[in-house]
Amino acid sequence: MYDKEYSTSMDLQELIKQAEQGDSKAQYELGCASYKESRQKAFEWWMKAALQGEAKAQERIGIAYNFGLGTDINIEEAFKWYRLAAEQGNLGAQKWLAHCYRTGEYLDVNQDEAFKWYCLAANQGDPVAQNNLAVCYDAGRGTEVDVEKAIEWYEKAAEQSFDVALNNLGVCYQEGRGKKVNFEEAIKLYKEAAEKGYDCAQYNLALCYEYGYGTKVNFKDAIKWYIKAAEQGNTDAQFNLALCYEEGKGTEIDLKEAIKWYEKAAEQGDTEAQFYLCSLYFNKDDMESILKGLDWLVKAAKQGMEEAENLLRDFMAEIIKLAELGDAEAQFLLGRSFQNGDGVIMNQGEAFKWYKLSAEQDYDKALNNLGCIYLESENYKKAKECFERAAKQNCALAQFNLGTMYNNGNTIERDITKAIYWLEKAVEQGLEEAKEVLDKINEE
């Protein structure tokens, strides 16, 4: 955050003297030297320099107002000082303005302004700005589409080994955009960027190895690069890696690993991953898996995936049919669906009705959920009865709920012995919440 350290008191005293005499550069440097000790002092010296037109100090004041360093956050003031610095050619301020105008962060989106500031920053040789300027020309943001200029700026940034530009240039070679199609050159660029750790390049390189673009098919190398990209949170890589584990491409079939990576992609909103998870969980045919599969199916359907919407509609039709025929599991699922609004219109009365019908057949999960409804409506006697019936069937959630009731003692008479008994039962089944409560009891 500061540019120079002062190793002797003589250096610092001389700097203070010059700063107090009004030297703007000394004021800026003194602000930098003061930053570790006092952000407020640093801010005060930078402000003195900034008011005299010192561009670096103006940028620092912008940063200070932006992030609340030595002063209160004030985005309007931050913008004012960044712009003053940028107009004097300060690179950092120019990049900040360009970013904010492009993304709409702090400022209204204005692609023309973003293009203007990227141009100025790029012409100072900054590789990030050069790449972003290339993207402007490539996509027609704030300017007309000009693929030749896009290539020119991608190349300038790539010459500085900027990983994002290397990858983007690789895409141009692979797709023949502004360059003749050249898979070998694309792979070379992807590999250079991938080795620098850029996840998009790692993913693109993995695709080349998986499908033989410009190289021989090599599933082992594809898996290697998918893993690297997936571990950085790249959703496309996570999905493809999961698919490899599910189908045994370049590795043994491993459904546990497939589910792991599908879930990572699904948690980031990838609808295909959500849909594939639904199929894998439904194939397991136990209630816990069916519930997980249904949850992912609902998420995909809510995002407008047509296949998911159709499957959810068919699934709910079958569940309703079975529930009406008296199937306890289907009645539980239908109750849960009404409770959450999954595939049907949310209706708590209908949820209660179907949970009760399932619970009358002693279905443990319905008993637990019915108990939760009774608990929320302060019918503690019936809640306890439901939890007890489910807990005796080894339902971990019911054991936890019953143990918690006994521990809290505000709904039924407190009984630590019974609380510990039921919480330990839940812990034995791996319920983490129960372990946390049990640990607190043991600390008392």
Q: Among the three residues 58, 88, 118, which one is the final residue of a domain in this structure?
A: 88
Q: What is the pLDDT of residue 145?
A: 97
Q: Among the three residues 60, 88, 116, which one is the final residue of a domain in this structure?
A: 88
Query: Does 110 reside within a domain?
Result: no
* Number of structural domains in the chain: 2
Query: Does 437 reside within a domain?
Result: yes
Q: What is the pLDDT of residue 432?
A: 94
417 near 395, Cβ under 8 Å?
Answer: no
Cα–Cα distance measured from residue 95 to residue 151, given in angstroms and rounded to the nearest whole number: 20
Q: Which residues of 39-54 are buried (b: 16+ CB within 10 A; e: fewer)?
A: beebbbbbbbbbeeeb
Q: Among the three residues 71, 88, 105, which one is the final residue of a domain in this structure?
A: 88
Q: What is the pLDDT of residue 108?
A: 92
419: domain CATH number?
A: 1.25.40
Query: Does 127 reside within a domain?
Result: no
The set of residues, in sequence order, having a beta carbon less than 8 Å from that of 205 and lying 6+ positions away, is: 187, 190, 191, 194, 225
Query: Does 270 reside within a domain?
Result: no
43: domain CATH number?
A: 1.25.40.10
CA dihedral of residues 190, 191, 193, 195 (deg, nearest 10)? 160
Cα–Cα distance measured from residue 336 to residue 333, given in angstroms and rounded to the nearest whole number: 5
Query: Does 359 reside within a domain?
Result: no
* Number of residues assigned to the chain: 444
Q: pLDDT means per 10 residues in the chain (444 residues)?
A: 43 91 95 94 97 97 96 96 97 96 93 97 98 97 97 98 98 96 96 98 98 94 97 98 95 96 98 97 92 96 96 96 97 97 96 98 97 96 97 97 94 94 96 94 84
Query: Does 394 reside within a domain?
Result: yes
The residue segments making up the domain with residue 75 are 1-88
